């Protein structure tokens, strides 16, 4: 998982708020949402810090997608995920 969002941050084509969503449901919903954005486009996912962000980040980066993370307010994490083509 990469950390830090480049300046300027990528503009996501879709946003998904998964705060309070249990594992592995948050990973499944993130993966399904990512399949709806065009190849090369960014998906923004907001979720709880800790296991939820680790599970989603590792799973999607392991599948070849680019994942950028930054801390959000009140124990949340903002992930920017760029859909890999192919």
The whole-number pLDDT of residue 1 equals 47
Instruction: Return the exposure string of 7-31: e unless at least 16 CB atoms fall within 10 Å of the residue's CB, then b.
Output: eeebebebebebeebeeeebbebbb
Q: What percent of the chain has pLDDT over 90?
A: 86
Q: Which domain holds residue 28?
A: 2-82
CATH number of residue 55's parent domain: 3.30.110.40
Q: What are 9-40's pLDDT values in tens digits?
A: 689 999 999 999 999 999 999 999 999 999 99
The whole-number pLDDT of residue 70 equals 95
Whether the model clears a pTM of 0.85, i.e. scores above it, the answer is yes
Question: What is the number of domains present in the chain?
Answer: 1
* Average pLDDT of the residues of the chain: 91
Helix (H) or strand (E) holding 32, with range, is helix 25-34
| 77: exposed, middle or buried (Cβ count in 10 Å: 0-12, 13-18, 19+) | buried
| Selection from 75, 58, 81, 86 nearest residue 10 by Cα | 81
């Amino acid at each position: 998982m990469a950390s830090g969002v480049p300046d300027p941050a990528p503009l996501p084509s879709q946003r998904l708020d998964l705060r309070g969503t249990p594992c592995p449901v948050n990973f499944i919903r993130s993966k399904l949402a990512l399949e709806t954005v065009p190849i090369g486009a960014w998906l923004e996912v907001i979720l709880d810090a800790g296991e939820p962000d680790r599970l989603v980040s590792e799973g999607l980066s392991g599948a070849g997608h680019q994942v950028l993370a930054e801390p959000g307010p009140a124990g949340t994490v903002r992930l920017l995920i760029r859909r890999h083509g192919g």
